Amino acid sequence: MHRTGELYGQFQTLEQQKASATLGMWIFLATEILFFGGLFLTYTINRQAYPDVFADASKTLSLPLGTINTLVLIASSLTMAMAVWSAEVGKKKLIPLFLVLTLILGSIFLFIKGIEYHDKYVEHHIPGLPFQFEPGSSVATNAHAELFFSLYFGMTGLHAMHMVVGVGLLIWLLRQSLKGRFTPDYNTPIENVGLYWHFVDIVWIYLYPLLYLIDRHK
Amino acid sequence: MPSQLPIYPDQASNFAPQVDTLMTFMILVSAFFTVAITAAVIFFFFKYRRKSENEIGVPIHGDMRLELTWIVIPLILSMVMFGWGAVVYVDFRHPPQDALDIYVVGKQWMWKIQQPNGRREINELHVPVGRDIKLILASEDVIHDFYVPAFRVKMDVVPGRYNTMWFRPTEPGRYHFFCSQYCGTNHAQMGGWVTVMEPADYAAWLSSSMETETDPILAGEKLFSEKSCSMCHLADGTGRGPSLNGIYNGSVRLADGSTVRADDAYIRESMLLPNAKIVAGFLPIMPSYQGQLTEDEILSLTTYIRSLQSQPVPAKGAGVIPAGKK
Amino acid sequence: MATTTTAPAYTMPRDHYLNSSYGIRSWLLTTDHKRIAWLYLAGVTFFFTLGGIFAAMIRIHLLVPNGLLVSPETYNKLFTMHGVAMIFFFLIPSIPAVLGNFLIPLMIGAKDVAFPKLNLLSWYVYITGGCFVLYAFATGGLDTGWTFYTPLSSVYSNSAVAPAVIGIFINGFSSILTGINFAVTIHTMRAPGMTWFRLPLFIWAHYATSIIFILGTPVIAITLLLVALERVFHLGFFNPALGGDPILFQHLFWFYSHPAVYIMILPAMGVISEIIPTFARKPIFGYTFIAASSISIAVIGFFVWAHHMFLTGESTYAALAFSLLSYLVAIPSAVKVFNWTATLYKGSISYDTPMLYALGFIGLFLIGGLTGLFLACLGLDINIHDTYFVIAHFHYIMVGGAIMGYLGGLHFWWPKITGKLYPEFLARVAAITLFVGFNLTFGPQFLLGLMGMPRRYHNYPPEFQVLNVLSTAGASILAIGYLLPMVYFTWSVRYGKVAGPNPWPATGLEWSTDSPPPAENFDVTPVVDWEPYDYKNRADLGLGTSVAPLAPAHGDD
């Protein structure tokens, strides 16, 4: 098994290894943009078709919880960036600290998401299970609201899965950092996980207004 | 008349000669390039065959003028092909105003056709020669496609919307039509015959025996009342919804100031997504009928609304912009 | 007359990647790109055979107008499963995952790809996706067409749609991982001196293909996931009865599936660009133009998808735009065909099997590509859309083009991969059999389309029978053409003549190492200071330096 920091067999130099890892992560994030992109397109088409129902359905989401989550995630990007910075300047003791903070914030996000999902379950707003929008809604309104919630669960669910993977990566990084592996000369894994984490954050920053803030001013 | 191309079906519509001529052009251009390049390849293959074990070829890396030539010439030819095809297609996508409207409903695995006077047929389409015919296509389930090889035209039949296609038959006769979008088990059996008749024969056929079929206008009127449309859409314009007298294919002013034509698609949308377009002066209170009307029922209601074209348009409360007002 | 390359007697190298370790674990847990190529070879050959069996059944069934062999339900499953197996599990992986995996590191002077473990993972992902699809085939089959149009696939079909689309979804990640691996490898792992414009055109082709893997595949993944969710949880994205839009599915589907056809053809074009200079013994004509055309095809190919939707009722303006762009994407392909032909001029041409495949490719791809122009023509598409014309068109490109390229490449690099030569005479017979059988199978289908026979029909009106019989006859010859290489390639691994490092000889870096190569590819990292296909200045190849015959180059002639 290779340990982090060593030169892998297929590479000639550590520079080549680092360049490859970083380029690989950027390209992977490009694929993720296209992956989420299909959902964003579906959302756009459906919102344009049923603007009123989408607005009504959006209002049944908890604005306070969604906003808290947004702030939590932005803060976690800050702590993640601090972890990368600590590695770059050689403050080895700070790395695990910031990674733990990021982990805690990420977990808070997932926990709050769980609360929101539970609320939707109670309100019969989960598509597929018996779905009922406001009592007395017409067949059409019910169907269009179910479309909104299909997209809500699809997009936030996919996002949450990516968060879970991110949490796993953070735990791995934490273990490595506790062993003192990351130095100013070698911190590629933190940097790349940082890229991933920031990407997941940016996806949420798009999801939040599109899902929670439809016509809230009205 | 028989087509110029020997294996083609007969040419029986206004589009057939256009499509066939374009096809001939494409075949000639393609044949030219195929023969030219194949001949060059075969010629070089034999002329420059290796004559001794260690022989190599003459290193020629490229030639800019040649590259530009064989970019520019294909580009010009492509644009001709595009332009010519576009002209035919744009014509096909714009049915003439005075076309005869025939409704076609596709469902697994049959076609239900309704003539303008309500006469229905199954897997058969009777049309008069020399007249512009517009087919309004609806599906009750999956995507189908209505294809008449002798007319050289087809159009997808998509659930959830209307598609239209048009043609002008030019030759009396019987021509095959096929479903040509895979639609399940009996897709290959979902076809029938188009019968093109002289106008007099068509008129006679049209008015002969409606048998025990229900007059779709009456059926539509019945639905109009059963589904409570008549509660709001009072004919005299005093109801909560606009009067539908004279509305079919007329101009409607919307709440946002724009004007639309109340064609079949508009009427259908008004039933299923009433809030998409609100008539000026009315509130967005109409409930949606999505999930409560089959395509057949929408068709019947539309036929009934169409029959209201000649009814008197009230001065106030009409859906259509009354004559004299702009 | 020296129209065959004769190889002098060699012995196999003592240590190479095939005997560097033994046992099933050394294969199933390998991270050597060359062994992973073999793993993929096994997988794609399996799915090709399966798809081929379905094709044989289809052609036999269509011998008579009422259908000879199977029920309508079964027929619909046959053409669907034929398409799914061939496209997702054979054509898309074939050249990149077999030849690309084997050759890319060798061609650029690297020891392996950038992420060898991801490479192995991508094979396991491919196999997992394949298992889901095989499960779907075995339990109820699949009868939606490989295009899965909704709401037929998401609501009305009674076949095993959910496991099948999940299998294809999973398989998509195999493509994505391969694309990432190739793109990074080509960027960062080139040997010293291997600048971008010294790269073999095979590499350019795979770089362009990787762009499509990366940007296109995620879209089909999410789309099929939505179909699965719609089916299992009765959601409404694509179901008009629930407010959804079936045409949205088509946009999402074709956004990937059109570039996917470029995934299938670009690598084959890369193979042809290697074979022709080798067997004409001169540089390719217009290297920069061919490299640029690969990238152009990949990029423009993302902007033409709705030419599959001209007759869905989409806006006329959209149709005009997509038709125009479809003509633009054809130009770079035309450029390649002209450049390959020009390369033959004043070459020193030998008739070895790879060259036969390459020349067959030029002719058949030409016909396939030209008939694509027919379909891009709006005024013609209203007639020939969804007829056998389309089937003939894409088989000319995918079989006459991509598969010919794959087989030509397998023959060309077989000596490098195995250290052995395949039997040349039998190989030529097979190539010619394939060419004849192929044309007899698919040529008549153009005519069937013009006559008006729709596709995906298990029955047909009697006037279409003669051409259908002709097509089936051709298919039987085609089958022989495919079986022969399976037999003699297998035979050659054990009994073939030893090839030596560079039997042709060819100029690529992969030919400067042993056949088969050592596990770490090169004993010493090469430093590149020559241009590609530079026969004139490669004295090390032991050839003459001009067209006229010279004194023997080696003392051992």
User: In the structure, what pLDDT confidence band is assigned to residue B211 with cuts at 50, 70 and 90?
Assistant: low
- Which of B26, B93, B153 has its CB closest to that of C374? B26
CA quadruple C241, C146, C177, C329: dihedral sign:
negative
Res C7 pLDDT > 80: no
How far CA A44 is from CA of A39, A127, A210, B273, C250, in Å, comes to 9, 19, 9, 18, 16
> Could you tell me if B269 and B276 are in contact, meaning their C-beta atoms sit under 8 angstroms apart?
yes
For residues C122 and C181, the answer to whether their CB atoms sit within 8 Å is yes
B304, B224 contact by CB (below 8 A): yes
One-letter amino acid identity for C310?
F
Is B290 an interface residue toward A (CB < 8 Å)? Answer: yes
What is the predicted pLDDT for the residue at B311?
87
Decide if pLDDT at B55 tops 70: yes
Chain B residue with Cα closest to A140: B290
Question: What pLDDT does residue B310 have?
Answer: 84
Angle, nearest 10°, between helix axes B295-307 and B216-226?
100
Provide the shortest C-alpha distance from residue B82 to chain A (in Å): 29
Q: CA distances (Å), A56 to each of A148, B118, C1, in order?
A: 10, 42, 83
Res. A5 pLDDT band, cuts 50 70 90: low
Rounded to whole angstroms, how far apart are CA atoms C528 and C10? 26
Domains of chain A: 14-212 (1.20.120.80)
- Whether omega before C505 lies within 30 degrees of 0, making that bond cis, reads yes
Q: Which of the residue ranges B227-241, C170-184, C420-434 would you say has the lowest mean pLDDT?
A: B227-241
> How is C83-144 classified by DSSP, letter by letter?
HHHHIIIIIHHIIIIIIIHHHHHHHHT-SS-S-HHHHHHHHHHHHHHHHHHHHHHHTT---S
Q: Does C194 touch chain A (CB under 8 A)?
A: no
C384 touches A at CB < 8 Å: no
Residues, chain B: 326
Q: Which helix (H) or strand (E) holds C179?
A: helix C161-188
Instruction: Give B210 to chain C, closest Cα distance, Å.
Output: 31
The pLDDT of residue C543 is: 84
Confidence of residue B317 (pLDDT cuts 50, 70, 90): confident
Q: What is the pLDDT of residue A71?
A: 98
The closest of C332, C318, C314 to C372, measured between CA atoms, is: C332
Does C6 or C63 have the greater pLDDT score?
Answer: C63
Task: Determine the pLDDT at residue C424.
Answer: 97
Structure confidence by residue, pLDDT tens digits, C101-150: 999 999 999 999 999 999 999 999 999 999 999 999 999 899 999 999 99
pLDDT band at C550; cut points 50, 70, 90: very low
Q: B touches which chains (3+ CB pairs under 8 A)?
A: A, C
Residue C175: closest C-alpha in chain A? A31
**Which tens digits make up the pLDDT trace of C149-163?**
999 999 999 999 999
**Over 90: is that where the pLDDT of B209 sits?**
no
* C265 close to A (CB below 8 A): no
Per-residue tokens: B268? 């259908």
Looking at residue B318, its pLDDT comes to: 86
Question: What is the pLDDT, as a whole number, of residue A58?
Answer: 96
Residue of C nearest to B288 (CA): C243
Is the distance from CB of A66 to CB of A159 less than 8 angstroms?
Answer: no
- Measured in angstroms, the CA of A11 and the nearest CA of chain C are apart by 7
Q: Would you give the DSSP letter of residue B254?
A: B
Largest CA-CA distance found in chain B, in angstroms, rounded:
99
C289 contacts B62? CB cut-off 8 A: yes
Beta bridge partners of B191: B178
The residue with greater pLDDT, C1 or B157, is B157
User: Across residues C197-201, what is the average pLDDT?
Assistant: 97
Q: Mean pLDDT over all residues of chain C? A: 94
CATH architecture entry for C33-541: Up-down Bundle (1.20)
β-sheet bridge partners, residue B13: B169
Residue C557 has pLDDT above 50, yes or no: no
What is the percentage of chain C residues whose pLDDT exceeds 70? 96
Answer yes or no: do B92 and C456 touch at CB < 8 A: no
The H or E element spanning position C42 is helix C33-61
Interior CA angle at C450 toward C446 and C456, to 5°?
A: 70
Mutate to test the interface with A, among B270, B272, B275 (most CBs of A within 10 A): B275
- What's residue B188's pLDDT? 95
Q: DSSP characters for C355-386?
A: HHHHHHHHHHHHHHHHHHHHHH-HHHHHHHTT
Enumerate the domain spans of chain B.
Answer: 7-45+65-213, 216-310
Q: What is the pLDDT of residue A167?
A: 97
Q: Could you tell me what percentage of chain B is helix, strand and coil, using 3-state DSSP and rounding each to the nearest 5?
A: 35, 20, 40
Helix axes A94-122, A139-178, angle to 10 degrees: 160
Is the confidence at residue A128, as pLDDT, over 90? no
Q: Is the pLDDT of residue C6 over 80?
A: no
| pLDDT value at residue B213 | 58
**What H or E segment, with its residue span, contains residue C438?**
helix C424-451
Min mean pLDDT across A34-48, C2-16, C215-229, C375-389 is at C2-16
Whether B214 shows a pLDDT value over 90: the answer reads: no
Chosen for mutation from B4, B29, B93, B269 (greatest number of chain C CBs closer than 10 Å) is: B93
Cβ contact B195:B180 at 8 Å = no
Residue C253 CA: distances (Å) to CA of C217, C218, C221, C298: 10, 11, 9, 17
- For residues C264 and C398, give the distance between their C-alpha atoms in angstroms, rounded to a whole number: 7
Residue C134 vs residue B8, higher pLDDT: C134
Contact B290 A143 (CB under 8 A): yes
Written in H, E and C, the secondary structure of chain A is CCCCCCCCCCCCCHHHHHHHHHHHHHHHHHHHHHHHHHHHHHHHHHHHHCHHHHHHHHHCCCHHHHHHHHHHHHHHHHHHHHHHHHHHHCCCCHHHHHHHHHHHHHHHHHHHHHHHHHHHHHCCCCCCCCCCCCCCCCHHHHHHHHHHHHHHHHHHHHHHHHHHHHHHHHHHHHHHHHCCCCCCCCCHHHHHHHHHHHHHHHHHHHHHHHHHCCCCCC
Whole-angstrom Cα distance, residue A207 to residue B37?
54
pLDDT of A3:
57
Put simply, the answer to whether C282 touches B155 (Cβ < 8 Å) is: no
| Residue B6 pLDDT greater than 80, yes or no | no
Q: Which of B143-152, C232-241, C470-479 has the lowest mean pLDDT?
A: C232-241
CATH-assigned architecture of domain B7-45+65-213:
Sandwich (2.60)
- Strand ranges of the sheet holding B110-114, from the earlier edge strand across to the other edge: B120-122, B110-114, B100-107, B133-139, B163-167
Flag if B38 and C363 touch (Cβ within 8 Å): yes
* Nearest to C285, CA basis, from B43, B58, B60: B60
Tens of pLDDT, residue by residue over A13-34, are 989 999 999 999 999 999 999 9
Which chain A residue has its CA at the smallest distance from B284's CA?
A52
How high does pLDDT run on average in chain B?
A: 91
What pLDDT, on the 0 to 100 scale, is given for residue C5? 58
| pLDDT at res. C545 | 61
- Nearest Cβ partner for A19 among C113, C188, C222: C188
Q: State residue C549's pLDDT score.
A: 41
Residues of chain C above pLDDT 90, percent:
92
Residue C112 CA to residue C33 CA, distance in Å, equals 6
pLDDT tens per residue, range A58-69: 999 999 999 999
- Looking at residue C552, its pLDDT comes to 40
* Cis, peptide link before residue C516, omega less than 30° from 0: yes
| Topology classification of domain B216-310 | Cytochrome Bc1 Complex; Chain D, domain 2 (1.10.760)
Residues of A in contact with C306 (CB under 8 A): none
Q: Are C557 and C8 in contact (CB under 8 A)?
A: no
Number of A–B residue contacts, CB under 8 Å: 18
C290/C420 Cα distance (integer angstroms): 31
In this model, does residue C262 exceed pLDDT 70? Answer: yes
pLDDT tens for each residue of C461-490? 999 999 999 999 999 999 999 999 999 999
Q: Is the pLDDT assigned to residue A2 strictly greater than 70?
A: no
* pLDDT the model gives residue A7: 80
Mean pLDDT of chain A: 93
Q: Is the pLDDT of residue B276 over 90?
A: no
**Domain extent listing, chain C:** 33-541
Lowest mean pLDDT among B43-52, B112-121, C411-420: B112-121
Angle between helices C161-188 and C116-138 (to 10 degrees): 160
- Lowest mean pLDDT, pick from A104-108, A138-142, C234-238, C320-324: A138-142
Is residue B287 less than 8 Å (CB to CB) from chain A? yes
Q: Which residues make beta-bridge pairs with C386?
A: none
C9-23, C33-47, C374-388, C446-460: which has the minimum mean pLDDT? C9-23
Q: Which of C231, C386, C463 to mutate to test the interface with B (most CBs of B within 10 A)?
A: C386
Per-residue pLDDT tens digits for B60-89: 999 999 999 999 999 999 999 999 999 999
pLDDT for position C146: 98
Chain B positions touching A143 (Cβ under 8 A) are 290-291
Cβ(C286)–Cβ(C342) under 8 Å?
yes
Tell me if B34 and C550 make a contact (CB, 8 A cut-off). no
